[in-house]
Structure 1
Amino acid sequence: MQRKIITTADGSKTIQIEEWNEQYHSLHGAIQEANHVYIKHGLLFCYDQKSLSNETLEGSVQNISILEIGLGTGLNAFLTLLQANEHQIDIYYTGVEAFPISSNEMAALNYPETLRVPEKIALFEEMHKIPWETDKRLTSYFILHKQQKLFKDITDKDRFDLIYFDAFGARVQPELWTTSIFKIMFDALKSGGVLVTYAAKGSVRRAMQSVGFGVEKLPGPPGKREMLRATKHST
């Protein structure tokens, strides 16, 4: 399937699948979208919730386990790594991707430069080069574990605090937005765990609710009116 590198409205690059007329990120801004959906309403929300609970001792490092559905360009993982270092959050990050990008595609992405952290280019490259199915500590606060497989083959139970659901849209891959997939996501989360996604379609919300998620609509990133956050409520 033909893929090409394109530049989005905030200057950050993404990958477009020409056959589908589908992009890995929003044309309104790849970094803007990722920061809004996955960092602000996902990671930092989860961090704040844990800070309000009694799960961690005062002054201790917070532990957050994240599953990303669609590792793709590595943008969400890279932004999370930067936040982990800034806030001193101990993060174990599992990125699932069935069709990894090539080394040439990785080299054409400009996330460290656009984020004004050019000194971390080598770190971004290392994220893509580490072996699959291996824990790799990239910083004092961030461990990455990459899995090359289909989303339907995920079998984790009660393991993750947070899921970044960043699959291709339902227009081109409706099978990734079904009740069966969201049941896998529900089972993979710990009680009280959260899933965030850029999507806001009614059919997606209903599929989430049908497996037991509590779902809320939130303001979307630039160019999109709404997004969804789903919670596996404690029983």
Structure 2
Amino acid sequence: MERLRITDDGFTTLYSSEFGQFYHSVRGAMAETQLVYIDLGLLAKAQEIKEINVLEIGFGTGLNALVSVLEAQKHDLKLHYTTLEPFPISNDDVQLLNYQDELHTQILKNLHEAKWEEEVEINSNFYLTKIKTTLQNFSSNKLFDVVYYDAFAPSSQPELWTEETFAKVASVMQKGGFLTTYCSKTVVRKAMQAAGFIVEKHQGMWGKREVVRAVKG
């Protein structure tokens, strides 16, 4: 399997040989990020509040964080963005990504070079905390308004799609907080509901495909 692929919307994604999955949909990396995490998550919550605590499960290539920075600037939001990544990609892999060219920004480099385990000011709208840990080992005194649930698919990381795991995520979320994800499998939606979420199915990026927004009850 090739390490790099250009997705259908012209943005790059990388292949993880460890998990046997691409980091983003090959049908459209940017389309997935924009709909699932930005439109259904960040911008939906921004209709209620302007200072938002975001938790991302899976920093990966940094695309979700990069687009969040740009949207925070565009809409004058203040984001405190915490992202978990136990297996960071290499600097060489970062150089393969075309996001900076496509989006006309140098911010991706700043995101990947930011120190781990401490809050770093990327700009006045965006404060980044990268934590090199698994979700299972993560704990937080902060409550999050939005969760980007961007783990690899259940076939690769089944432990991250269980009722127990979603209950843990719910425990660090504000009431009414949004969890958004590309995965709409019935077993996943049932696990979310069992963990106390109100689960909404939304139209996906490619015809009939569905994506999910789960609201903490």
TM-score by length of 1: 0.88
Match of 2:126 among 142, 158, 168: 142
How many Å separate the matches in 2 of 1:224 and 1:188?
32
Gaps of 5+ in 1: 51-61
Alignment length, in residue pairs?
Answer: 217
Tell me: CA distance 1:193–1:207, structure 2 relative to 1, closer, same or farther (3 Å): same
Q: CA deviation at 1:124?
A: 1.2
Q: Give the conservation status (yes or no) of the 8 Å contact 1:190–1:232.
A: yes
How many Å separate the matches in 1 of 2:11 and 2:176?
33
| 3-state SS in 2 of match to 1:154 | coil
How many Å separate the matches in 2 of 1:228 and 1:82?
23
Report the residue type matching 2:177 in the other structure: G
Percent identical: 40
Rg bigger for which structure? 1
Tell me: CA distance 1:169–1:224, structure 2 relative to 1, closer, same or farther (3 Å): farther
Match of 2:147 among 155, 158, 163: 163
Q: CA deviation at 1:21?
A: 4.1
Tell me: CA distance 1:149–1:90, structure 2 relative to 1, closer, same or farther (3 Å): same
Q: Tell me the residue number matched to 1:12.
A: 11
How many Å separate the matches in 1 of 2:18 and 2:81?
31
How many Å separate the matches in 1 of 2:208 and 2:119?
35
How many Å separate the matches in 1 of 2:170 and 2:75?
27
The runs of 4+ residues in structure 1 deviating greater than 2 Å are 17-21
Q: Tell me the residue number matched to 1:89.
A: 77
Q: Tell me the residue number matched to 1:28.
A: 27
Tell me: CA distance 1:103–1:47, structure 2 relative to 1, closer, same or farther (3 Å): same
| 3-state SS in 2 of match to 1:40 | helix
Report the residue type matching 2:35 in the other structure: H
Tell me: CA distance 1:19–1:64, structure 2 relative to 1, closer, same or farther (3 Å): closer
- 1:202 maps onto 2:201 in alignment: no
Instruction: Please list, as runs of the form range in 1=range in 2, the aligned pairs for 1:106-125 lying within 5 A after superposition.
Output: 106-115=94-103, 117=104, 120-121=105-106, 123-125=107-109
Q: Which moved more, 1:81-90 or 1:151-160?
A: 151-160
Report the residue type matching 1:91 in the other structure: L
- 1:78 maps onto 2:66 in alignment: yes
Report the residue type matching 1:229 in the other structure: R
Q: Give the conservation status (yes or no) of the 8 Å contact 1:7–1:13.
A: yes
TM-score by length of 2: 0.95
How many Å separate the matches in 1 of 2:215 and 2:44?
12
Name the Cα RMSD after superposition: 1.6
